[in-house]
Amino acid sequence: MTPLLFNVILDDLALMIIATGALVGVAGALPGMFLVLRGSAMLTDAISHSILLGIFAAWWLTGNLGGPLQLLGAALAGLAAVALIEIVARSQRVRMDAAIGLVFPAFFALGVLLISLFARDVHLDEDAVLLGEIGFIWLDMVTLAGLELPRALVTIGALALVNAAFVALFYKELKLSVFDRALAGALGFLPGMLFYVLLALTSVTAVAAFDAVGVILFIAFVIVPPATALLLTDRLALAIVLACLLGVAAAISGYLLADIWNLTIGGMMASMTGAFFALALLAGPRHGLVARQLARLRRRRDNDCLSLLAHLRNHEGTAGAAEENTAAALEADLRWGGERRHRVILTALDRGLITRKGETLRLTRRGRAEIDALLPGRMPPRRG
């Protein structure tokens, strides 16, 4: 693709906004998958509220609101918040969720207080950090390889590549640390160190995201697409890919709907992650509510069929078989109503487990083999 064509594409404000939102979704989903699996997803909330303090500290020390020191300050603030949360939780006086609720409001409140006291005349607004406005990314442009690009797009794109490289290089270690931390430690994978590096990347990505979507909306991109992907597949590698694709889809659909309904773009993108989650929760192929209900009904049907086979096998070859192995006897013996009895018999007939001759139900060879496999110690039937 030629530079001229790149310029034509990137001159379109809509494409720049969508590309930035999509990259935020990818950059957030990569570390977010492992945080969700580890049960530490809400640490993202603590980090997102703590970075305001780090941003202020970086400005106070350097007088600069941008650059790598700002990212470093935010990352350190996020890590400090996580470390303090773990210290509070390890005291065993409060649970982890309560520790998170204690620490991150304190960090956020301290950041707001310090800004109010020492940075009144500085363009450092807590509302902008929290909420952001992706529609204004074109106001801050940089030149890269001869192309005029939004700074947010460049920064988020770079962090998406860093996060992807980290996950690719340490995929095996991250996977083992999530599912078996003790084994990972025994093999020398340093699961604690990996976890803190993951949190540091999350902190830096959150700082880069606040110019675009705000850190509150960034939380949605970190948590919701991975949680949605885990409803769709049990394979970790596929779940990571799906989480990234869901983040991209949320950015595209969120922008289009925000444009149609004249709504905030970042908020609509985050709302679409929730919509995709609701859809997966309802209609997921294995873990969706509909699939689980259908599986529950199938198990009930299977159990009813086995109960019917056991009943017929128990009376097969006995003097009372002609009376007991009938549809009418099932109501008295198994307490099945007419509709349930009719459904079970039809299911067993369709599966070739029984045959019907008049009112008498008989096991087929297949039905007899199936129930005998479940009851290997069954005594031979009594003969009348």
Q: DSSP string of 25-75? A: HHHHHHHHHHHHHHT-TTHHHHHHHHHHHHHHHHHHHHS-SSSHHHHHHHH
Assigned domain for 380 exists: no
pLDDT at position 111, please?
Answer: 85
Higher per-residue confidence, 132 vs 52? 52
Q: Are residues 129 and 227 in the same domain?
A: yes
For the chain, what is the mean pLDDT?
86
SS3 of the chain: helix, strand, coil, percent, to 5: 75, 5, 20
Assigned domain for 379 exists: no
136/177 Cα distance (integer angstroms): 40
Q: What is the DSSP letter of 326?
A: B
Q: Are residues 307 and 184 in the same domain?
A: no
- Residues 25/213, Cβ–Cβ less than 8 Å: no
Q: DSSP string of 301-343? A: HHHHHHHHHHHHHHHTTSTTHHHHSBHHHHHHHS---HHHHHH
Last residue of a domain, one of 206, 234, 267: 267
Instruction: Assess whether pLDDT exceeds 70 at residue 379.
Output: no
Q: Which amino acid is at 243?
A: A
Expressed as residue numbers, the domain containing 262 is 3-267
pLDDT at position 277, please?
Answer: 97
Chain-centre distance of CA 103, in angstroms? 25
Q: Are residues 244 and 363 in the same domain?
A: no
- Residues 149/195, Cβ–Cβ less than 8 Å: no
Question: How many domains would you assign to the chain?
Answer: 2
Buried b (16+ CB within 10 A) or exposed e, 117-135: eebeeeebebeebbbbbbb
**What percent of the chain is predicted at pLDDT more than 90?**
43
* Model confidence pLDDT, tens digit, residues 29-44: 999 999 999 988 888 8
Kindly report the CATH number assigned to the domain that includes residue 333: 1.10.10.10
Instruction: Assess whether pLDDT exceeds 60 at residue 326.
Output: yes
Assigned domain for 281 exists: no
Rounded mean pLDDT, 343-348: 93
pLDDT at position 8, please?
Answer: 47
Instruction: Assess whether pLDDT exceeds 60 at residue 3.
Output: no
Q: Are residues 61 and 24 in the same domain?
A: yes
Q: Are residues 195 and 69 in the same domain?
A: yes
Instruction: Assess whether pLDDT exceeds 90 at residue 60.
Output: no
Q: Are residues 260 and 311 in the same domain?
A: no
* Model confidence pLDDT, tens digit, residues 183-193: 998 988 889 89
Structure tokens at 24: 């935020």
Pairing status of strand 354-357 against strand 147-150: unpaired
Nearest to 33 by CA among 191, 229, 190: 229
Last residue of a domain, one of 252, 267, 282: 267
Nearest to 362 by CA among 322, 306, 329, 333: 322
Rounded mean pLDDT, 335-343: 88
pLDDT at position 5, please?
Answer: 47
pLDDT at position 384, please?
Answer: 42
Higher per-residue confidence, 54 vs 349? 349
Higher per-residue confidence, 250 vs 119? 250
Nearest to 223 by CA among 194, 208, 202, 209: 202
Last residue of a domain, one of 267, 283, 302: 267
Assigned domain for 88 exists: yes
Assigned domain for 282 exists: no
* Model confidence pLDDT, tens digit, residues 280-298: 999 998 889 999 999 999 9
Kindly report the CATH number assigned to the domain that includes residue 139: 1.10.3470.10
Instruction: Assess whether pLDDT exceeds 80 at residue 126.
Output: no
Nearest to 129 by CA among 199, 50, 59, 31: 50
Q: Which amino acid is at 94?
A: V
Q: Are residues 131 and 222 in the same domain?
A: yes
Rounded mean pLDDT, 351-355: 94
Confidence of residue 71 (pLDDT cuts 50, 70, 90): confident
327/2 Cα distance (integer angstroms): 77
Q: Are residues 179 and 229 in the same domain?
A: yes
- Residues 351/301, Cβ–Cβ less than 8 Å: no
Assigned domain for 260 exists: yes
Q: What is the DSSP letter of 138?
A: G
**What percent of the chain is predicted at pLDDT more than 70?**
90
Q: Are residues 51 and 97 in the same domain?
A: yes
Residue 180: phi and psi, rounded to 5, are -150, 85
pLDDT at position 75, please?
Answer: 77
Q: Are residues 84 and 181 in the same domain?
A: yes
76/20 Cα distance (integer angstroms): 25
268/265 Cα distance (integer angstroms): 5
pLDDT at position 55, please?
Answer: 79
Q: Are residues 128 and 255 in the same domain?
A: yes
- Residues 265/17, Cβ–Cβ less than 8 Å: yes
298/194 Cα distance (integer angstroms): 43
Q: Are residues 314 and 256 in the same domain?
A: no
- Residues 21/212, Cβ–Cβ less than 8 Å: yes
Instruction: Assess whether pLDDT exceeds 70 at residue 211.
Output: no
HSE value, Cβ hemisphere, 13 Å, CA-based, for 148: 10
Pairing status of strand 360-363 against strand 147-150: unpaired
- Residues 52/126, Cβ–Cβ less than 8 Å: yes
Give the range with max mean pLDDT: 96-110, 123-137, 218-232.
Answer: 218-232
Q: CA torsion sign, 83 to 89 to 93 to 97?
A: positive
Is the pTM higher than 0.85? The answer reads: no
Assigned domain for 137 exists: yes
181/196 Cα distance (integer angstroms): 14
Rounded mean pLDDT, 92-103: 85
